[in-house]
Amino acid sequence: MKKFFLFILIALLASCSKPNQCDCPTVLKHHTEDMPTLNMSSNNIQIVMAENVDGRQTYNVLFPDGTVLDSMYPEEIANGLVTGKWDYNEDLSISNK
Task: Judge whether 92 lies within some domain.
Answer: no
Task: Give the tens place of pLDDT for each residue, 38-67.
Answer: 777 667 889 999 999 889 899 999 988 888
What is the pTM assigned to this prediction? 0.61
The predicted pLDDT at position 73 comes to: 93
Identify whether the C-beta of residue 58 lies closer than 8 Å to the C-beta of residue 51: yes
Tens-place pLDDT, residues 76-89: 999 998 888 898 99
Range of the domain at 67: 2-86
Q: Look at residue 96 and tell me if it is in a domain.
A: no
Say what percent of the chain tops pLDDT 90.
25
Residue 30 falls within a domain, yes or no? Answer: yes
Q: 3-class secondary structure for the chain? A: CHHHHHHHHHHHHHHCCCCCCCCCCCCCEEECCCCCCEECCCCCCEEEEEEEECCEEEEEEECCCCEEEEEECHHHHHHHHHHCEECCCCCCCCCCC
pLDDT at position 26, please? 44
- Among candidates 40, 43, 44, 49, which has minimal Cα distance to 17? 49
